[in-house]
Amino acid sequence: MVQAVAWIVERSNESDFDEDSNSSDNEVEGRMGAVQSLGIKLSVNKALCGYNFHIKHLDGHPLILRGKPGDIIKPGTVKGVVGKGIPNKKYPELQGNLFVEFDVGFPTDHFLEVENAYNIVRGCLPLSPKVNIPVGAQEISIMEYDEKKYSRGRGGDAYNEDSDDEQYEAHGARGVRCQQQ
Q: What topology is assigned to 8-105 in CATH?
A: HSP40/DNAj peptide-binding domain (2.60.260)
Report how far residue 85's alpha carbon sits from residue 29's, in angstroms, rounded to the nearest whole number. Answer: 12
- Domains of the chain, residue spans: 8-105
For residue 53, give the nearest of 99, 98, 14 by alpha carbon: 14
pTM greater than 0.75: no
> Which residue(s) pair with 87 in the sheet?
95
Report how far residue 162's alpha carbon sits from residue 34's, in angstroms, rounded to the nearest whole number. Answer: 58
Half-sphere exposure of 4 (CA within 13 A, CB side): 5
Most confident of 14-18, 54-58, 126-130, 147-151: 126-130
Helix (H, G, I), strand (E, B) or coil at 93: coil
Per-residue pLDDT at 81: 87
Q: Mean per-residue pLDDT for 59-71?
A: 90
| pLDDT 10s digits, 86-140 | 888 888 888 888 899 999 999 999 999 999 999 999 999 899 899 999 999 999 9
